[in-house]
Amino acid sequence: MLTCDNYIVVANLDEAFSCLARYGAGARIVAGATDLLTWARQGRAGDVNYEALVDIGSIPQLSGISVAGDRVRIGANTPIAAFLRDPLLLEQAPVLRRCAIWFADDQIREQATVGGNLVNASPAADAVPPLLTMNATVTLWRKEAGHLASRTIALSDFIVGPGKTSLQAGELLGHIEFDATGAWGSSFEKVGHRRSLVISTVCLAILVRLDPSGRRFEDVRIAIGAVGPVPERLHDIERSLVAEIVTPELIHSAAKLAENRVRSRSRQDYRREVLVNFIERGIINALQECGLVVERQADRSEEMLHV
């Protein structure tokens, strides 16, 4: 059961930091709050009481979507539903739309925020692999000597374990920045235990860019989730593909390198099989977006890739 003594809706950052200073560890920040009750239910956190739930969903500084040069900035309070409808994100980061299609349902997408998905630090967080492929950074804000201060770190350094981040006491996640990748081919793959409101058993995002000849990999980015304690980029596999001529054999061999990346406690054999197939299929689908059609070498059953 989850209870709180005070539910406080703050209108600006000053009010939010005042609440954090007043209640300290007795405060819990919420925005969409879609994960709050499930986290606190019996069998996970047990009975939980907070002195204050501090709702930051109305703070203007935590909203907004913009682009500057080759980087896109989104406020932490951006709802996942924006991935499906915001013209700038659809143009500059189409991989996010592919991710959002798999994200819960319409109602939850309208409430759930990008910042919440990152701060909760679930190993199966759907938004993390796409953001990792775009070299995302997070900017954390705090009140210091009466003034607003910030620090920016890579998303890969922000999430440090299941449910654990490098967010310090008194800090808020302000915004996320990432590479504009509208000209890249992209794909997102996900499978879970059930057909609706799926929590990932395996998920991944892939970005591909071809060189001017249209036959060689110029750049490849692969990020995986739900198969280990934290989502991660597969830099070694990326390096094995860059500058190489695209062939089915090369893609299949690269995908096989991911077999040892599964570190989950359950269903390891299943996850390995799915992960390898997802990487192979994901690269091929991303290449197709670049205008290059490649047939899969592996003759694997597609049934295991869908629940």
Question: Could you list the pLDDT tens digit for every one of the 307 residues in the chain?
Answer: 788 999 999 999 999 999 999 999 999 999 998 888 776 664 455 678 889 999 999 999 999 999 999 999 999 999 999 999 999 999 999 999 999 999 989 999 999 999 999 999 999 999 999 999 999 999 999 999 999 999 999 999 999 999 999 999 999 999 999 999 999 999 999 998 655 567 889 999 999 999 999 999 999 999 999 999 999 999 999 999 999 999 999 999 999 999 999 998 788 999 999 999 999 999 999 999 999 999 998 544 444 454 4
What residues are paired with 149 via a beta bridge? 142
Query: Residue 215: which CATH number?
Result: 3.30.390.50
Residue 71: domain span: 60-179
Q: Count structural domains, the chain.
A: 3
Query: Residue 43: which CATH number?
Result: 3.30.43
**Listed residues 17, 35, 55: the one ending a domain:** 55
**Listed residues 179, 204, 224: the one ending a domain:** 179
Q: For the whole model, what pTM was predicted? A: 0.93
Residues 218, 131 within the same domain: no
Residues 196, 147 within the same domain: no
